[in-house]
Amino acid sequence: MLSSLRTIRDKAPTIGFDVLRMYLGVALFVRGVLFVSHPDRIHALVQQSGDWFMPMLIAHFIAAAHIGGGLLLALGLATRLAAAAQIPVLIGAVFLVHWHDGLLNPSQSLELAGLVLAMLIVYAICGAGLLSLDERLRRANARLEAEERLEAEEREESVPSTHVPGPIGRERTHGAVR
């Protein structure tokens, strides 16, 4: 029992990293779905520019980034790309939308957006952990490459040696003089 607790303790940081990634992905996915189902809310957030085209373009990008990127983050697939695609959205949320609210506001929007931004930066740099599709694909590719190397080595060993007489009575095998 004590050894299993040590094993869990030793793997806990990796598992915790993955659980946070999954939660962040699900939260961003839900946020994107809410933006799509209530477009007036996101339109009100980005309408401050006074133009109609840019707010709609930004609103569509935010929804797509949150839905697609959130799903990819939750699965741990293309994690760095999914996190990096969200970073501009969260920079805008922190500095353009919530900055004027200030810290210690009852809604805590600035603090939460800043935390999500920091987490996305970490995942964009570090990628996913062990409990991700990225890791499963990496392991599968490594296994395939190892099998291909082994097959290539076996093919090289199975090629029959050809006996060619060399200069002045020396024999040559596969280009090497003996």
Q: Domain map of the chain by residue range? A: 2-134
The identity of residue 102, as a single letter, is G
More confident residue, 125 or 53: 125
Instruction: Name which of 115, 61, 109, 111 is nearest 85 in CA terms.
Output: 61
DSSP state of 49: G
pLDDT of amino acid 19: 93
pTM of the model: 0.74
More confident residue, 157 or 62: 62
Q: Are 29 and 67 in contact (CB under 8 A)?
A: yes
More confident residue, 106 or 81: 81
Percent of the chain whose predicted confidence (pLDDT) is above 70: 79
pLDDT tier at 104, thresholds 50, 70, 90: confident
pLDDT of amino acid 91: 95
**Mean pLDDT, to the nearest integer, of 128-141?**
93
Q: Report the number of secondary-structure helices (H) and strands (E) in the chain.
A: 7, 3
pLDDT of amino acid 170: 55
Residue where the block lists tokens 């699900």: 26
pLDDT of amino acid 9: 63
pLDDT above 80 (res 52): no
User: Residue 71: which region, alpha, beta or left (left: phi > 0; alpha: psi -120 to 50)?
Assistant: alpha
Tell me the β-bridge partners of 164.
172
pLDDT tier at 109, thresholds 50, 70, 90: confident
- Phi, psi of 172, rounded to the nearest 5 degrees: -120, 130
pLDDT of amino acid 166: 57
Distance separating alpha carbons of residues 178 and 171, to the nearest angstrom: 6
Tens-digit pLDDT profile for residues 82-99? 999 999 999 998 998 888
DSSP state of 1: -
Instruction: Calculate the alpha carbon distances from 8 to 2, 12, 76, 108, 157 in Å.
Output: 10, 6, 21, 34, 44
pLDDT above 60 (res 178): no
Please provide the average confidence, as pLDDT, over all residues in the chain.
Answer: 83
* CB neighbour burial string for 6-37, b if at least 16 within 10 angstroms, e if fewer: eeeeeeeeeeebbeebbebbebbbebbeebbe
